[in-house]
Amino acid sequence: MALNLQIIYNHFEKSAFIKNSLTKGCLHYDKNDKTFSCDMSDTSCMGIKNIPPIFDVMVKESGNTKTFVISQTKRDEECEIQYWMFKADDNSGIKFIIFND
């Protein structure tokens, strides 16, 4: 499936960017939880204007790519979005969480 967004993650720098972008935002990966996480403001730094419901993340060092699909939008009691959770579509259990800051 051809996707419009591919995030490239650099383990060494703990940063990410999109193709053809030199700007970088923070992106964390927790090995224990198998979870990528970042703040919404970091996606802007990466050059991402809108997060689509499906996107790819490629690890720069290995070239491995995972496709993530939206699985949950968490809201507080005032209906303000707290975070968006995406899950890898290959049943690996890897998650990607974007916190609304």
pLDDT of res. 20? 67
Q: Answer whether residue 43 is part of any domain.
A: yes
> Average pLDDT of each block of 10 consecutive residues along the chain (101 residues)?
75 79 84 95 87 92 94 96 97 96 90
Q: How many domains does the chain have?
A: 1
Contacts of residue 31, Cβ cutoff 8 Å, sequence gap at least 6 = none
Q: Answer whether residue 86 is part of any domain.
A: yes
Alpha-carbon gap, residue 67 to 54, rounded angstroms:
7
Q: Helix (H, G, I), strand (E, B), or coil: what is residue 41?
A: helix
State which residues form the domain around 94. 6-99
Q: Answer whether residue 1 is part of any domain.
A: no
Q: Answer whether residue 63 is part of any domain.
A: yes
pLDDT of res. 2? 43
The predicted model scores a pTM of 0.88
pLDDT of res. 22? 65
Q: Answer whether residue 79 is part of any domain.
A: yes
DSSP H or E segment with residue 98: strand 95-99
